[in-house]
């Protein structure tokens, strides 16, 4: 089956703290005679990509291209890390320094009970020589990417000098920089396009004891945007979903996951999905909506498992098509007494101009309905439905024959009616 989302030409540059995640699984049946601790009988061990490398893993799992830059050591874990990258066909541009490869080993009993975590790392302080090597690597990689992700795990690579350098050089090249922050002081993230903190990271950055409410997120989010000259701020809020804040607007996305198994790596999935979909040309609201759904998938998995493209597509079909594709009788029940806009057409393309128009209309009404003209090519029609349904701006889609249009208009009686051909023009019909 050909994927409805074709990201094969999208290329993302991921810069950040790379790690190796190791898991030792087993069962506990007795206590050690040497000390009052459980004995784990190991039955399985796995190794996976962590930190910024997990972001790259999510990008490649969405069938997009990725360039990964990070620091590792010349050691056993570093070699294992490179082998995993090679097996996953992730293009890496690593710099080996005199340091241990950051490795986190987790001991897990009875499938999901984590007993202890072992961290192998050192506090890294970059020398002048290493800083210059890093800058040279980055400046050579920047022109190759559509969007740059900075995945900062506060392990030493992303200091103020390096972060400012990336953002400044990206601006010169007209490239967007998206940052997953871990530091409390966000001054080094100034002038970025978008930052994706979780609520606790956001709270620390504000310096205030704020509540996880829409109102507080909006108020303090707009202050941070102004102070740091950001374009957007996307706050992930656990069971309360996500909030996208800009200078003048705020949009809140409800949480998707029904059962949370492991939140490890969910932030990596969010930023990777956001970057890939934005680079493909999706508007920011749709990109955030898709990222929210992707996070809802990975938190149901164990460990730092990435989002797969087919999983995202399947979730979209469940979440959108079942609710948005409606027959006329059901549509009439759903829109009863509400202010609606109706736009009909073939929608062979849905670019930036169309999205901006839909957003403008959406702000004036309760429901936005698309009347999609039938097409003899069933596959093409299916793809159109899939992509239109993925747009959060659109509430319902009704598939129709063009000759049915006059009758449908009379039945629905929209407050505002446009045809796709006249999408830039005046209102054609209005009560």
Together in a domain, 267 and 174: yes
310 and 334 both lie in a single domain = no
Among 294, 318, 342, the domain boundary falls at: 318
End residue of a domain, out of 284, 318, 352: 318
Q: Residue 6 falls within a domain, yes or no?
A: no
241 and 95 fall within a common domain? yes
262 falls within a domain = yes
Query: For residue 193, what are its two tokens?
Result: 């396009």
Give the per-residue pLDDT at 170. Answer: 97
Check whether residue 81 and residue 133 sit in a common domain: yes
pLDDT value of residue 89: 95
**Is 350 in the same domain as 287?**
no
> φ, ψ for residue 307 (rounded to 5)?
-80, 135
Asked if residue 236 is part of any domain, the answer here is: yes
Looking up residue 412, the CATH number of its domain turns out to be 3.40.50.620
CATH of the domain at 314: 3.40.1190.20
Residue 59 inside a domain? The answer is yes
- pLDDT of 4: 56
Q: Are residues 281 and 339 in the same domain?
A: no
Element (H, E) at 275: helix 266-280
Residue 4 covered by a domain: no
How high is the pLDDT of residue 426?
Answer: 39
Same domain, 426 and 309: no
Asked if residue 369 and residue 295 are part of one domain, the reply reads no
Paired tokens of 38: 């459980």
pLDDT score at 302 = 61
Give how many domains the chain has, as a whole number. Answer: 2
Name which of 419, 420, 396 is nearest 409 in CA terms. 419
Q: What is the pLDDT of residue 161?
A: 97
How many Cα atoms sit within 13 Å of 78 on the Cβ side? 15
At residue 139, the pLDDT reads 97
Alpha helices in 10-100 (DSSP H): 52-61, 76-87
Query: What angle do the packed helices 309-316 and 378-389 form, to 10 degrees?
Result: 80
pLDDT for position 431:
27
Element (H, E) at 351: none
> Which among 271, 286, 318 is the end of a domain?
318
Same domain, 215 and 270: yes
| pTM, full prediction | 0.75
Same domain for 291 and 375?
no
Quote the domain boundaries for residue 387.
325-430
Residue 256 lies in a domain: yes
pLDDT, residue 303, reads 60
Give me the residues of the chain with pLDDT under 50, please.
1-3, 260-262, 321, 424-431
Same domain, 304 and 205: yes
Q: Which helix (H) or strand (E) holds 144?
A: none
Q: Say if residue 390 is in the same domain as residue 422.
A: yes
Positions marked catalytic? 268
Q: So what's the pLDDT on residue 362?
A: 86
Q: What is the pLDDT of residues 42-62, one digit of tens each?
A: 999 999 999 999 999 999 999
In angstroms, the CA 398 to CA 372 distance is: 6
Q: 115 burial class (0-12, 13-18, 19+ CB within 10 angstroms)?
A: middle
Output the six-digit token pair for 345. Answer: 């057409």
Query: N- to C-terminal Cα distance for the chain?
Result: 45
């Amino acid at each position: 089956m050909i994927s409805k989302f074709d990201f094969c030409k999208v290329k993302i540059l991921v810069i950040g703290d790379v790690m190796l995640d190791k898991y030792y699984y087993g069962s506990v049946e007795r206590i050690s005679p040497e000390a009052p601790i459980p004995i784990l009988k190991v039955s399985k061990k796995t190794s996976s990509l962590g930190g910024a490398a997990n972001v790259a893993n999510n990008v490649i799992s969405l069938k997009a291209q990725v360039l990964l830059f990070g620091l590792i050591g010349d050691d056993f874990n570093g070699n294992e890390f490179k082998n995993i990258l090679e097996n996953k066909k992730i293009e890496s541009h690593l710099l080996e320094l005199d340091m241990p490869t950051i490795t986190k080993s987790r001991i897990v009993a009875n499938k999901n009970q984590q007993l202890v975590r072992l961290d192998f790392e050192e506090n890294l302080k970059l020398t002048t020589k290493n800083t210059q090597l890093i800058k040279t690597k980055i400046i050579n990689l920047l022109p190759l990417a559509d969007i740059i992700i900075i995945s900062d795990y506060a392990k030493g690579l992303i200091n103020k000098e390096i972060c400012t350098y990336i953002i400044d050089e990206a601006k010169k090249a007209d490239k967007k920089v998206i940052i997953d922050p871990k530091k409390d002081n966000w001054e080094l993230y100034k002038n970025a396009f978008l930052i994706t903190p979780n609520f606790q990271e956001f709270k620390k950055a504000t310096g205030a004891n704020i509540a996880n409410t829409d109102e507080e997120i909006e108020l303090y989010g707009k202050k941070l945007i102004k102070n740091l000259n950001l374009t957007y701020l996307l706050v992930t809020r656990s069971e309360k979903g996500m909030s996208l804040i800009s200078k003048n607007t705020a949009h809140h996305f409800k949480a998707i996951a029904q059962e949370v198994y492991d939140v490890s790596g969910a932030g990596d999935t969010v930023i990777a999905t956001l970057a890939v979909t934005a680079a493909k040309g999706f508007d920011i609201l749709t990109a955030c909506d898709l990222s929210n759904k992707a996070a809802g998938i990975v938190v149901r998995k164990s460990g730092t498992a990435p989002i797969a493209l087919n999983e995202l597509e399947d979730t979209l079909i469940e979440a959108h098509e079942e609710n948005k594709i409606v027959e006329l009788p059901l549509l009439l029940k759903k829109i009863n007494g509400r202010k609606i806009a109706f736009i009909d057409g073939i929608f062979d393309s849905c670019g930036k101009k169309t999205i901006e128009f839909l957003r403008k209309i959406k702000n004036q009404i309760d429901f936005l309905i698309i009347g999609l003209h039938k097409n003899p090519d069933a596959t093409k029609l299916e793809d159109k439905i899939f992509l239109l349904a993925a747009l959060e701006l659109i509430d319902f889609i009704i598939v129709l024959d063009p000759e049915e249009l006059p009758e449908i208009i009379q039945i629905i009686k929209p407050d505002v009616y446009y045809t796709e051909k006249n999408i830039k023009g005046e209102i054609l019909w209005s009560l």
